[in-house]
Structure 1
Amino acid sequence: MEDVIEQLYGNGMVLIMWGAIVLQLLVPIPRQSHPMELWRRFAILLSDKVNSTNPNQAMLAGWLSVLLMLLPAITVLIALQPLVWQNELYQLALLLLALDWRNSDALIRQLSLAMANEDKTQARHLLKPWVNRETDTLSLLGLGKAGAETYLLAMGRGVIAVLFWYCLLGGIGAFIYRLTVELARVWSPSRQKYFAFGRAATHLTAVLDYIPLKLFSLLILCGHRAKQSVALLQVQHKSWPLPGPSWLLISSAAKYELSLGGPAIYDARKSVRAKIGGRIAPAAIHLSQLRQLMFSRLTIWILGSSLLLSVIHQGL
């Protein structure tokens, strides 16, 4: 056991990961001043120039736009690596920018409090910057569903998958994954203007999400209501369009028999989505329970990531 601890301590990649997690929790970067905000704005400017009303042209433009955004970013990040003063600090900075735990955690805590006080105005205001759907008419039931879905996917893509790609490809891999997720969010096909244009970014993100979100979902399935959760997942997972998010949402909702999914309004248009999970409408207490569930499973995920890094980089 002591040898294992020494290996973990001596592995710089493990220390970088833990350092980024601690720094991100202690000194979070506000969403409005995060460098990703500039990336999102540039993505919107690019889509305004090249998006088309013709579906085939829009789809082609979407793929070319993804390449135009990501390939230069990958080239610059790789080119900078041998030039930096300390590679460890470079990796730490990239992972720190890729992670988004504290903001997601703050959202669920503040949203739970607003819903507990039945303050729909505050809850809508908190949720609006995080989603593409319209929030102005959401009831407490709708806010509970949207809040639960948003939090689970934010943690899945802002922490779980980021750490997975960090383990495999280092800080550059984690950062590029986060850039891809942001493109998928900005160009979401759920909005009519990006219905064809945004499919490229969404499909690429779905491929990158597939393994980490499914692996994490297996962690969630363990323990309370494991048998019922597995049965529900087997029945419902094909009803959601993206495999990774479907596993994460269904496995988490099944733990507390929560009802997720259902119709949502995007750009004044009603989108019909499958209903997943159980029959209980998410309330403030359920959001707190989801937060506790994610924290307990993330602890295991982080420890497992530490061991994986040691295996990869030191051959434990």
Structure 2
Amino acid sequence: MLLSTTAIALKLGAGLLADRLFGELRRFHPLVGFGRWAARIEAGCRRVLGTSRRAGLVAWALAVLPWVALALWLRGLHPLAHWPVDVALLYFALGGRSLAEHARAIATPLAAGELSLARERVGWIVSRETAALDAEGVARAATESVLENGNDAVFGALFWFIVAGGAGALTFRLANTLDAMWGYRSPRYLHFGWAAARLDDLFNALPARLTALTYALLGHTRRALACWRRQARTWDSPNAGPVMAAGAGALGVRLGGAAVYHGRIEDRPVLGEGRPADTASIAEAVALVRRGALWWLGLAALAVLIEAGLSTLAGAPHA
């Protein structure tokens, strides 16, 4: 068991380091290829099975499970193959550096007063309409995205890696990608995308709450927990609500509020409390995610030390 715990901690460290050093691939990114694969699967399933929930579930399985099976097969090729395979899959599933880079690309022009450029760049990472956002609206959208994607791009992948190794992290990332592709309540995906949305909710249920707890413990804890308790249930998403409410409370910033989606204004509940979002809150959200990742790694290392100590005590001769 000690070897297994040590291996998990070492692989976590290697995956996080690779993400920090290299970030996402600029060319030949696997998710681009997966997106094309999923689009072909969708077209075939729609043609044969229609647009029902069953068709969407079959499409999800055909899109995801072959790659998970391939990952498991690669791990079994050699007794030591799990080391490079798991580290590579965790690196693939993580997006911490990319998240920080996107946030910086928004914060830099926003701080310089280049509002039109900041609007354009925040539109790369959010689904709301950004053309009419003021400076606070841009900062609010960016801060919300960093906090929410801290779960999707970092902590969710770490959680499923700890639970099920590289194959677990891969499954989580692909499920999250399919939710982003199919999980909409639009006429096209209302039924077909149901499985992708529900499975993503399922995969995120526990990681999202651990992410919220991480934010709370590393920020203003009492305020974060109070915001989580009062505000999370008012949010449409059962997983984004706890993450963003706790994150906003931890930072002492006010998020949520009205936003325009597909030409329609949605009056979203307020999350957090304190000052309005600004350039500083974007950087603070990035720092919170980074501290959280290091904290998780530290907990993994602590688990190794505790298990080593228990093993030593168990093997010590009795007086």
TM-score scaled by length of structure 1 = 0.85
Q: CA RMSD in A?
A: 3.1
What is the SS of the residue equivalent to 1:83? coil
For the pair shown, the structure with the greater C-alpha radius of gyration is 2
In structure 2, do the counterparts of structure 1 residues 65 and 91 end up closer, same or farther at CA, with 3 Å as the change threshold? same
- Which of 160, 179, 182 matches 1:187? 182
Task: Tell me how far 1:252 sits from its aligned partner.
Answer: 0.9
5+ residue gaps, structure 2: 312-319
Residues 216 and 301, structure 1, Cα contact 8 Å, conserved in 2: no
Counterpart for residue 170 of structure 1:
165
State whether residues 128 and 134 of structure 1, in contact with CA within 8 Å, keep that contact through their aligned partners in structure 2.
yes
Mean Cα deviation higher: 289-298 or 264-273: 264-273
Determine which of 44, 65, 69 is the counterpart of 1:71: 65
Match of 1:14 among 3, 9, 17: 9
1:88 and 1:127 map into 2 onto residues whose CA distance is: 37
Q: Quote the offset at 1:263 in angstroms.
A: 3.6
Q: Secondary structure at the match of 1:273?
A: strand
1:226 Cα deviation after fit: 2.6
Stretch of structure 1 that moved more, 212-221 or 167-176: 212-221
Residue 199 of structure 2 is aligned to residue 204 of structure 1:
yes
CA-CA distance at 1:77 after TM superposition: 2.0
Structure 1 alignment gaps of length 5 or more: 1-6
Over residues 71-116 of structure 1, what are the superposed CA-to-partner deviations in whole Å (9 max), with x where a residue is unaligned? 2222222223222573311111111111111101111222111211
Matched residue, 1:246: 241
Instruction: Report 1 or 2 for greater relative contact order, CA contacts < 8 Å, sequence distance ≥ 6.
Output: 1
Q: How far 1:175 moved relative to its partner?
A: 1.1
Q: CA distance change for structure 1 residues 314 and 34 in 2, over 3 Å: closer, same or farther?
A: farther
Tell me which amino acid in the other structure corresponds to 2:66: P
Check 1:294–1:133 CA distance in 2 against 1; reply closer, same or farther (3 A cut): same
**Range with greater deviation from structure 2 (244-253 or 119-128):** 119-128
Percent identity, please.
23
| 1:260 to partner: Cα distance | 2.0
Q: Does 1:81 align with 2:75?
A: yes
Say if 2:218 and 2:288, in contact at 8 Å, map to a contact too: no
| C-alpha distance in structure 2 between counterparts of 1:49 and 1:266, whole Å | 30
CA distance in 2, matches of 1:133, 1:313: 49
Q: TM-score, normalised by structure 2?
A: 0.84
1:93 aligned to 82, 88, 91, which one? 88
1:29 is paired with a residue whose SS is: coil
SS of 1:301's equivalent in the other structure is helix
Matches within 5 A, 1:121-132: 121-132=116-127
Question: Quick one: which amino acid aligns to residue 215 of structure 1?
Answer: L
Q: What is the Cα deviation at residue 166 of structure 1?
A: 0.8
Q: Which stretch shows the higher mean deviation, 212-221 or 271-280? A: 271-280
SS in 1 for 2:13: helix
* Equivalent pair of 1:167/1:309 in contact (CA under 8 Å): no
- Looking at structure 2, the residues matched to 299 and 235 of structure 1 have their Cα atoms a distance apart, in angstroms, of 28
Q: Distance in 2 between matches of 1:69 and 1:134?
A: 30
